[in-house]
């Protein structure tokens, strides 16, 4: 799925690299050969890429059972492959690791428009309200997760399982699942309207397609803050010099 002239998966891998990720495992099924031909071992993108193949559809979480033995780290980042965002992946890792949570879900406040007239009723046939094409706000999953490594041991092999099912299992066993709330830019490219909006936002695309490493962003932010401090006294002097002088009547 391209964004501009770049596959969305490449955009994500660039972002992972900028956040300090060095090893990426792609779980692939449909178009596996094409994906492997394009990305290879990941050396062209500054990461090490390995592949896990699905013989049958296993859902969004099911494929993790096949790769758990390859993961030695205490925490693992898992994402859908159709997410376009300026999300800070490094902050998710830091906050998750320090929280002690079994899982962290990146979440976003999404406005959803209902393109229908919504009827409100009381009883079987009494209309109490009519709202034309309303919009509602929902806290939704961004398709980006952090898990403690041992959570992957709960996923049965060769069994279809989606992330909502895995998260519900964690909640039922009273594990701590935390929300990592995000207020930046996010589009779910699996939705046609989000995909069209993403391709139309060329300025935003440029900043996402060419992410800066976290250390470079912090240096840039400090420089911007220093420049702002330097400008403040000049601005105050300028305001004082341009204020009209009061005239006194004789």
Q: How high is the pLDDT of residue 198?
A: 80
12 belongs to a structural domain: yes
28 belongs to a structural domain: yes
What are the structure tokens assigned to 42, written together? 């990941």
Average pLDDT, the chain: 85
Q: What is the pTM of this model?
A: 0.78
What are the structure tokens assigned to 21, written together? 């990720």
Q: Where are the beta strands (DSSP E) in the chain?
A: 2-3, 6-7, 23-28, 48-53, 75-79, 83-85, 103-113, 117-122, 126-132, 135-148, 177-182, 186-188
Domain that holds residue 66: 2-107+141-242
Q: How far apart are CA 185 and CA 15, in angstroms?
A: 14
pLDDT at residue 223 tops 70: no
Q: What is the mean pLDDT of residues 76-98?
A: 94
Q: How high is the pLDDT of residue 178?
A: 97
pLDDT tens across 186-203, in order? 988 888 888 888 888 767
pLDDT tens across 206-221, in order? 777 776 655 555 554 4
247 belongs to a structural domain: no
What are the structure tokens assigned to 191, written together? 């939705």
Identify whether the C-beta of residue 78 lies closer than 8 Å to the C-beta of residue 147. yes
Helix or strand holding residue 92 (H, E): helix 89-99
45 belongs to a structural domain: yes
Identify whether the C-beta of residue 81 lies closer than 8 Å to the C-beta of residue 7. no
At 239, is the pLDDT very low, low, confident or very high (cuts 50, 70, 90)? very low
Count how many domains the chain has: 1
152 belongs to a structural domain: yes
Q: How far apart are CA 89 and CA 105, in angstroms?
A: 12
Give the pairing type, strands 23-28 and 48-53.
Answer: parallel
Q: What is the mean pLDDT of residues 115-140?
A: 93
pLDDT tens across 157-183, in order? 999 999 999 999 999 999 999 999 999
Identify whether the C-beta of residue 39 lies closer than 8 Å to the C-beta of residue 112. no
215 belongs to a structural domain: yes
Q: Which CATH number belongs to the domain containing residue 56 in this structure?
A: 3.90.550.10
Q: How far apart are CA 49 and CA 35, in angstroms?
A: 11
44 belongs to a structural domain: yes
pLDDT tens across 36-58, in order? 999 999 999 999 999 999 888 89
Helical ranges in 210-250 per DSSP H: 214-242
pLDDT at residue 105 tops 80: yes
Q: How high is the pLDDT of residue 3?
A: 73
248 belongs to a structural domain: no
């Amino acid at each position: 799925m391209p964004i501009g002239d770049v596959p969305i998966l490449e955009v994500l891998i660039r972002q992972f690299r900028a956040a300090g990720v060095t090893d990426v495992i792609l779980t692939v099924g449909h178009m596996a050969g094409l994906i492997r031909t394009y990305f290879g071992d990941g050396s062209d993108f500054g990461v090490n890429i390995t592949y896990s193949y699905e013989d049958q559809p296993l859902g969004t979480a099911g494929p993790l059972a096949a790769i758990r033995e390859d993961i030695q780290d205490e925490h693992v980042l898992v994402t859908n492959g159709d997410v376009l965002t300026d999300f800070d992946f490094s902050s998710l890792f830091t906050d998750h690791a320090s929280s002690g949570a079994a899982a962290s879900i990146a979440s976003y406040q999404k406005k959803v428009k209902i393109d229908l007239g919504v009827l409100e009723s009381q009883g079987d046939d009494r209309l109490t309200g009519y709202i034309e094409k309303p919009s509602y706000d929902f806290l939704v999953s961004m398709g980006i997760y952090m898990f403690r490594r041992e959570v992957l041991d709960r996923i049965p092999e060769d069994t279809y399982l989606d992330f909502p099912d895995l998260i519900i299992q964690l909640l039922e066993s009273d594990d701590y699942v935390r929300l990592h709330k995000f207020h930046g830019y996010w589009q779910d490219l699996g939705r046609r309207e989000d995909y069209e909006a993403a391709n139309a936002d060329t300025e935003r695309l440029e900043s996402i397609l060419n992410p800066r490493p976290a250390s470079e962003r912090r240096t840039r932010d400090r420089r911007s803050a220093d420049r702002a401090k330097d400008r403040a006294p000049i601005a105050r002097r300028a305001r004082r010099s341009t204020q009209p002088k009061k005239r006194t009547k004789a």
